[in-house]
Amino acid sequence: MGALLMKSKNKKRDRMGDSGSADIRVWRRLGILVPGARTEYCYSTCRIIADLRSESEPFLSVVFPQGTHLIRLTSRPTRFNGRRWFLLDEHGQPRDVLYYCNSHRKFVSRDAAGHIYASQGRSYRDRLFAKRDKLRQQLSSIRGPRARARKRELELQLANQEKVIEQIGLGFARQAIERDHDVADRQVFSRARLRAAEQAMQSRETMPPDRVLATFAQEFRSVTSRLRPPVEVHDVAKEPKRQQLIDAVLDIVTLRRLGYVRSGDLTGFELGWPRHWIKEPSRRIFVVVDLRKPNRCNAAIFIQDGRQKPRSQVFWIGEVKAAFGRQELRFIHAKTGLRSRKLFYRGGEFVLRPPDDEGNLPRNREQDVQRLRR
């Protein structure tokens, strides 16, 4: 597709497998963005249409054989009576680059698409060797009037880097091997928990997502319109330790990985948990999550017993900084301000903190990993 779907120069890596990007800087150099005009540019697999005739609503269309994707534009003045154009992401924020995400079926920002820099996924050992290789490459390609002085600086940096690697020696290698084994065990356990959560969600599912939204749309608007944000937000003091591979827990990070929760979208689904988790044979649980507005993200849980009117629980949803520069979602209690990634189903309702006796259970992740490997 040429410049539209090229690999990023920053070598960003996507854990979801999407690699398409829309870079407005490339289109500026190609002369596609002409104020007050409608221009087109054709690639081998798509067609770009930039319509800047309207000053209030300029847009750009990416036309594929499968469909058309509309991207809104914005601009700001620059020096010498010029203008710089930006793409607007799903939250209305200006961006130079948007990425096509298969789960969203549209162009979204880097955070929503799940892209990270390749260096963020490297271990300490890999960063040391990568820095050494970079210094060697700079030494081999040095040019210019300060080549001799620059060469001495690089040789000194390379000698120090080699000394650090040599001093670490076998102890570092042993720690690296143990760390790699631990990472592999955590990956096996994480994939197994994800599969178990997906099977548990679909164990007794009877209502499709679109019907859930149609059924509870009016009630969702009613319960969320009265919702007020808490005065103060603080994390749950103690995260419970897992004893089982999967339990009656609503984990928003797992829901996002499974596609039940999507940034910038309104989603609804039924918790098709096994019967022994819900206890009541006629009870059904439905969840509606609204992440369309960044400052008003919330989730409503509807618990219905037979033909009775469903009971509802409403939680705010906020973002926190996670590892590798990512943003993770958290449930926030509307009254107490407690924040947690999990909701525990206890006594016919969802709570952010389980009873104290459940928080002190021993963790047997090593036994689970051995069982999964067998």
Q: Where do the H-state alpha helices sit in the chain? A: 24-30, 110-113, 124-140, 147-201, 209-225, 252-258, 275-278, 356-359, 365-373
Which of 133-142, 180-189, 300-309, 351-360 has the least mean pLDDT?
Answer: 351-360
| CA separation for the pair 262, 112 (Å, rounded) | 8
Using one digit for the tens of pLDDT, what is the confidence trace for 348-359?
Answer: 889 887 655 444
CB 328 within 8 Å of CB 320:
yes
Q: 103 or 87: which carries more pLDDT confidence? A: 87
Please tell me which residue, 13 or 250, carries the higher pLDDT value. Answer: 250
pLDDT in tens, 328-352: 899 998 888 888 888 988 888 898 8
Task: Taking residues 254-270, report their average pLDDT.
Answer: 89
Quick one: which H or E segment has residue 146?
none
Q: Mean of the pLDDT values across residues 211-223?
A: 89
DSSP state letter for 261: S
Q: Which residue has the higher pLDDT, 164 or 102?
A: 164
Separation between Cα atoms, residue 316 and residue 4, nearest integer Å = 37
208: enclosing H helix or E strand: none
Q: Which of 368, 369, 372, 352 is nearest to 243 (CA)?
A: 368
CA–CA distance, 210 with 226 (Å, rounded to integer)? 24
Q: Which of 109-123, 245-259, 332-346 has the highest mean pLDDT?
A: 332-346
pLDDT mean over 51-73: 88
Under the phi-then-psi rule, with left for phi > 0, alpha for psi from -120 to 50, and beta for the rest, what region is 160? alpha
Average pLDDT of the chain is 80
- Tell which wins on pLDDT, 46 or 118: 46
Give this prediction's pTM. 0.50
Of 306, 302, 328, 303, nearest to 317 by C-alpha is 328
**Distant-in-sequence, close-in-space partners of 251: CB < 8 Å, separation ≥ 6:** 197, 341, 342
pLDDT at 355: 57
Q: What integer pLDDT is reported at residue 245 of this predicted model?
A: 57
Of 15-29, 214-228, 306-320, 358-372, the range with the lowest mean pLDDT is: 358-372
